[in-house]
Amino acid sequence: MIIKFALLLTTALTGGCTVFPNPEPPRVMEIAVSEPARRSDQRFEEALRVDTPFASAPFNSSRILAKPNRWEFRAYENVRWRDTATVVVRDALVEGLRDSAGFASVITDSSAAPAELTLISELSAFHTENPESEPRAIIELHAQLIRNRSRASLCNHSFSIMEPAAGTGIEQVVEAFGVAGNRLSDQVTAWVTACDLSSRPEKDHPTQP
């Protein structure tokens, strides 16, 4: 009986079958843009590069994170972001800044095109709190606008967004992240386009002796 079972198992395996079920691929989620960003009242002739935000673990991964208590992070099962959280945030910022038409062009740090300005940032929160009862999406970002030639810091600001989810399901959680991401993009766009880009011009255009 044992030999017969072994022969059957070998036949099944060599035939391309397996006795173990194939795991379902994880669902891949995106921050959905609900509406275009508000167009800027100002128009700058400079090009703006948006760097991918810096983040330490666990925010530098594609896992969708929950924080059930102050000292623990967990990941939602069988689901992930389409890319790392930092890239998802970067792309949301780029989309909002492009929609605003406040700059001559807006590029990412993967582009080889030149730019006069760079938006650098650090992502310190991208998770839900109270995931089992009243989940809310949390995004925290510290941003700084610098002039590339002189490396002078023109403006800096910290953003903190909290958006409650309509329920505990992953669809409601991702929808809350989408609303939070749109709010963050709008706030960053308004802040960047309000920055005084004419400050410290002497560092970019030094006077010849």
* The pLDDT value given to residue 32: 79
The predicted model scores a pTM of 0.82
Length, in residues, of the chain: 209
Is the distance from CB of 93 to CB of 181 less than 8 angstroms?
Answer: no
Tens of pLDDT, residues 97-138: 999 999 999 999 999 999 999 999 999 999 999 989 999 999
* The pLDDT value given to residue 21: 53
Quote the DSSP letter at residue 145. Answer: E
CA torsion sign for 183, 184, 187, 193 is negative
* H-run or E-run covering 106: strand 103-108
pLDDT category, 196, cuts 50, 70, 90? Answer: confident
Mean pLDDT of the chain: 85
